[in-house]
Amino acid sequence: MIIDLDAAPRGEWFPFRMSTVDLNTGETIWGDPIEGMRVKLRSWKPFFEERAATREMVDEWKVNPKTKAYEKHSYPKELTPEEKKKEREDVFDYAIMELDGFKDKATREPIECSRGNKIKLMGFDWFDRFFVDCQQRLGSYGIEREEEVSENF
């Protein structure tokens, strides 16, 4: 197995595909990629790792029923609804790097890849499904089977 250690910071371009949900089965039905529309994404994993490392911890002392001794239990502090919303918006802003071929309905101008526009796009179910599908694919990007690479040389 050959791993590209620099794949994550660069991000990857994904051709945009619309999707719907089959109301009878609940399965996602993917359309063909739309010509000229693509999104550059990077994995959200480093974002969450950094947040987890800096998140405030709460310590609680509990009695172990077997030993009757107090034991320290630590867990991350619960976020307020406002903090959860901000963190969700922060991860969208972090993971979506560029938009190509997306146009505003009113002006027919290209949609700028701003924080506000990224958050608005994530409000659409079809874009949210696309985003999550790409994040799952990013989990395996940068890895190639050694046999596939050696065939190309």
What pLDDT was estimated at residue 144? 55
Which of 29-43, 69-83, 137-151 is most confident? 29-43
What is this structure's pTM?
Answer: 0.76
Order of strands, sheet of 28-41, starting from the edge strand that comes earlier in the sequence: 12-21, 28-41, 96-100
Q: What residue ranges do the domains of the chain occupy?
A: 22-143
Spatial separation of the C-alpha atoms in residues 98 and 39, rounded to whole Å:
6
- Cβ burial of 111 (10 Å; 0-12, 13-18, 19+) is middle
Summarize the confidence of residues 104-128 as an average pLDDT: 95
Kindly state the helix (H) or strand (E) to which residue 28 belongs, with its residue range.
Answer: strand 28-41
Q: Is the pLDDT of residue 1 over 70?
A: no
Q: Is the pLDDT of residue 80 over 80?
A: yes
Exposure string for 90-106, b = 16+ CB within 10 A, e = fewer: ebbbbbbbebeebeeee
